[in-house]
Amino acid sequence: MENCFAQLKEFDIPFEAHALSAHRTPNEVIKLAEEAKDRGIKVIIAAAGGAAHLGGVIASSTTLPVIGVPIQTSALGGMDSLLSTVQMPGGIPVATVAIGKAGAKNAAILAVQMLALSDEALAKKLEAFKQAMADKVIADSVIEVE
């Protein structure tokens, strides 16, 4: 999740991080989800591996948007995490991103996009970020052939 944290920091998004388990600490997970809105949290990012039910448990306990990040596992390369995160019953949405580092980064960017809907300054930072990304691809697109 370091990629997620770094991306949130790049956008100056305050955040808190907790290491909890939907299976081992369900009461704490539910309490955290239920109290998040009152603490000013607007989006929750939940990373989980294997039987990755964390995002679903959180989504069932709050009205805040939940972004799920499937963590790569040694057993199935993260496919188990992906399927556990993305396959939610109707009414319990978890916006699921890619497995691993790219997914962690995209979770942060998706959260920024959600927050930017009601924050013009953040929206401008996001536009500049996307433009810089495009500019880099264009600059790197020239292939010198000898």
Q: Is 39 annotated as belonging to a binding site?
A: no
CA angle 15, 17, 23 (to 5 degrees): 140
* DSSP per-residue letters across 94-125: -EE--SHHHHHHHHHHHHHHHHHTT-HHHHHH
DSSP 3-state assignment of 73?
coil
Contacts of 42 (CB under 8 A, 6+ apart): 64, 65, 114, 115
Annotated binding-site members for substrate: 24
Annotated binding-site members: 24
